[in-house]
Amino acid sequence: MSEGTKGLSRRDTFMAAAVAAAGTALPGAALAAGKAPSRKVDVVVIGAGFAGLTAARELVRAGRSVVVLEADGRVGGRTKAAMLAGERIDIGGQWVGPSQTRLLELAKAYGVTPVPQYTEGDNLIDIGGRKARYRGEVPGLAPADLEVFGAAVARLEAEAGQITAPRPWLAKDAKVWDALTVETWLQANVPSDPARELIRTLIRAVMSSEAVDVSYLCFLGYIASAGGLGPLISTRGGAQDSLFPGSVWQIAAKIADELGGAVVLDAPVSRIAQDERGVTVSSAKGAWRTQRVIVTVPPAMAARIAYDPPLPAQRDGLTQRMPLGSVIKVVLAYARPFWREQGLSGMVISDRTDFGPWFDRGTPLTRGGALVGFFDGAPARRWADRPATERRAKVIEDIALYFGDEARRPVDYVEEVWTRAPWQRGGYVSVPGPGVLTGFGPALIEPVGRIHWAGTETAEAWAGYIDGAIRSGERAAREVAMNA
C-alpha cells in the first residue's frame, strides 16, 4: 500500500485506483469537500441500453429532468451495430417476434420496419450423430426421439403454465424446481440421448448457457415470460420471426438523439450514495444529485458499483449469483446466398460443431448473401480468448461442413465477443443457477430506498429480450413517477 492510500478502506483504495486509471477527478470529490454536486436532476438513469433509454424517454415525456449515465462510448448496450459488406447490421440483439409488442410499437414510432426472417427451404439438424433436412418448426429427429422430445416440451409448457412472470419463486413447486438444474431434470425425465442433446442445444441457443448452469425454475420462468416454449424457440411466429434492415440498434440511437445532452457517454457509475434527502451518483464524468435512480445494468454489472449505505443482504446476495451467459456473435457476407440455391434455409442446429446455431440473415438491404450465428455457452468460453483469426477459421470450417466449399469464401466477416465486452461482459441474459430465485428472487425488482431496478432481467414479459428491456424501463419510469 502506498503512502497516499494509507488509512483508506479496501473499497476506498479500489475507488481511488479506478478513478486514477480513468484519469478523472475523484467522483464525489465535491461531496468530500462538503459541497453538493452542481448538477441536479429529478432522475438519474444508469445504462443507455433499451431499458435505460426507454425509462428516460418516458420520464422526459412526463416533464422530469433526467440524465442517462452510460459507461460505454456508445448507446445500445447489448444491441450494437456493425458494418458488413456495406450494410449496417446488428452484432448484438437483432430479432423481434409478433408478441414482442413493445419493441414493435417503439420501432413503428421511429419509422423502423421489420422484415420476415428468411425461412424458405430445408433446415439442417445434426444431433446425436444423425443428420436430417426438415421444414418448418418441428425438429427433424428420428420418430421415437421426436416423441420423447414432444413429451418433454408438453411437460415444460405445462409446468411453465404454473408460473407468473416475473416472479417464478411464487409457484407452488418453486422450491422443488429450483433445486434442479435443467441438466438434472433432463437426465431424470427425458429418456432419449438425441432429445436431451437437442434441449441442451436449445438452452445454449436461447440463454447462451449450459443446461448444467441453469436452474430448472429459471428455465420455466423464461418460458413463461415468453408466453410458451413455441414463441421462445420458433422462427416463424416466435422470437426469431423478423429482423430490422439497417439494425434494431438504430432505434436506440434515435431515442438517444431525441434525449440529446441528457445522455452522457463514457460515464461509468462507480458509486451511489443515498441520504435522507436524496441520492448522489458518482461517475467518471462527475457527480449528479437526484431524487431517484434507475439502475438498468444487469445484476452482475450492478454488483461492480459501490453503494452507500451498502445494499441489503438479499440484493447484494442476488447480484453475486446472477452471471451473464457467454456468447460470441458472428455475421458473414457471401457474394451469393448459395445455400438457397441448394434448397436450404440457412438454418443449422448441430451438436457436432462449436459454432452454431446459424441462420440466413439476408434483408432487402443485403447485397449477396449473409449468415448469422453464435458460439454459445461453453463453446463461447472456449473461444473467447483465442485469436480472432483462429475463431474465424473455426466458424468457416463449421459452416463448410454443412454448406460445402463455397462457405470457405466469405467476402466479409464481423464478430463481437460479448463475453469480453468491458461493460456488458456477456449476454444474452443473466442466468441464475439453483436456489437463487427462491432464495433471492424478490430482490431482483424490489426498490432499495430511492434506487429502482430495471433491465431486461426484471421484465414481466420477454425477460432476456429487447422487448423485455423496454417493458422494464417503462415500468421503472412508472414506479419513479408514483414515488416522486
Ligand X SMILES: Cc1cc2nc3c(=O)[nH]c(=O)nc-3n(C[C@H](O)[C@H](O)[C@H](O)COP(=O)(O)OP(=O)(O)OC[C@H]3O[C@@H](n4cnc5c(N)ncnc54)[C@H](O)[C@@H]3O)c2cc1C
Stretch binding ligand X (CB under 6 A), from 58-66, 308-316, 397-405, 464-472: 464-472
DSSP string, 414-445: EEEEGGG-TTT-S-S-B---TTHHHHHGGGGT
Closest to ligand X by CB, 186 vs 284, is 284
Closest to ligand X by CB, 196 vs 452, is 452
Cell 436456489 found at: 435
Inter-residue contact 97 to 240 (CB < 8 Å): yes
Q: What angle do CA 480, 482, 484 make, to 5 degrees?
A: 65
At residue 93, the 3 state secondary structure works out as coil
Closest to ligand X by CB, 51 vs 190, is 51
Closest to ligand X by CB, 142 vs 265, is 265
Of 268, 337, 356, 377, the one binding ligand X (CB under 6 A) is: 268
Cell 479500489 found at: 14
Of 168, 242, 455, 474, the one binding ligand X (CB under 6 A) is: 455
Residues 288-327 vs ligand X: string with x where CB under 6 A? Answer: --------xxx--x---x---------------------x
At residue 115, the 3 state secondary structure works out as strand
Of 174, 469, 476, 480, the one binding ligand X (CB under 6 A) is: 469
> Does 232 sit near ligand X (CB under 6 A)?
no
> Does 272 sit near ligand X (CB under 6 A)?
no
Distance in Å from the first CA to the final CA of the chain: 44
> Does 464 sit near ligand X (CB under 6 A)?
yes
Q: What share of the chain is helix, strand, coil (3-state, %, to 5)?
A: 40, 20, 40
Q: Please, how many CA atoms are within 13 Å of residue 396, restricted to the half-sphere of its CB? A: 19
Query: Cβ of residue 194: shortest distance to ligand X, in angstroms?
Result: 26
Residue 369 phi/psi, 5-degree rounding, is: -125, 165
Query: Cβ of residue 96: shortest distance to ligand X, in angstroms?
Result: 6
Query: Cβ of residue 338: shortest distance to ligand X, in angstroms?
Result: 24
> Does 329 sit near ligand X (CB under 6 A)?
yes
Query: Cβ of residue 248: shortest distance to ligand X, in angstroms?
Result: 7
Q: Which residue is nearest to ligand X (CB)?
A: 77
Inter-residue contact 281 to 122 (CB < 8 Å): no
> Does 92 sit near ligand X (CB under 6 A)?
yes
Query: Cβ of residue 35: shortest distance to ligand X, in angstroms?
Result: 23
Residue 282 phi/psi, 5-degree rounding, is: -105, 135
Binders of ligand X in range 396-435 (CB under 6 A) = 418, 423-424, 427-429
Number of residues that bind ligand X (CB under 6 A): 40
Q: Which three cell numbers stand for residue 121?
A: 427451404
> In terms of Cα–Cα distance, which of 52, 432, 471, 445 is closest to 225?
471
Inter-residue contact 365 to 87 (CB < 8 Å): yes
Query: Cβ of residue 135: shortest distance to ligand X, in angstroms?
Result: 22
Query: Cβ of residue 203: shortest distance to ligand X, in angstroms?
Result: 15
Cell 429427429 found at: 141
Query: Cβ of residue 459: shortest distance to ligand X, in angstroms?
Result: 8
Binders of ligand X in range 28-87 (CB under 6 A) = 46-52, 69-72, 77-79
Cell 453503494 found at: 307
User: Rounded to an integer, what distance in angstroms lies between the CA atom of residue 265 and that of residue 252?
Assistant: 14
> Does 95 sit near ligand X (CB under 6 A)?
yes
> Does 286 sit near ligand X (CB under 6 A)?
no
User: Rounded to an integer, what distance in angstroms lies between the CA atom of residue 338 and that of residue 243?
Assistant: 21
Q: Which three cell numbers stand for residue 200?
A: 441442451
Binders of ligand X in range 144-203 (CB under 6 A) = none
Inter-residue contact 162 to 171 (CB < 8 Å): yes
> Does 93 sit near ligand X (CB under 6 A)?
yes
**Where along the sequence are the contacts to ligand X (CB under 6 A)?**
46-52, 69-72, 77-79, 92-95, 268-269, 296-298, 301, 305, 327, 329, 418, 423-424, 427-429, 455-456, 464-467, 469
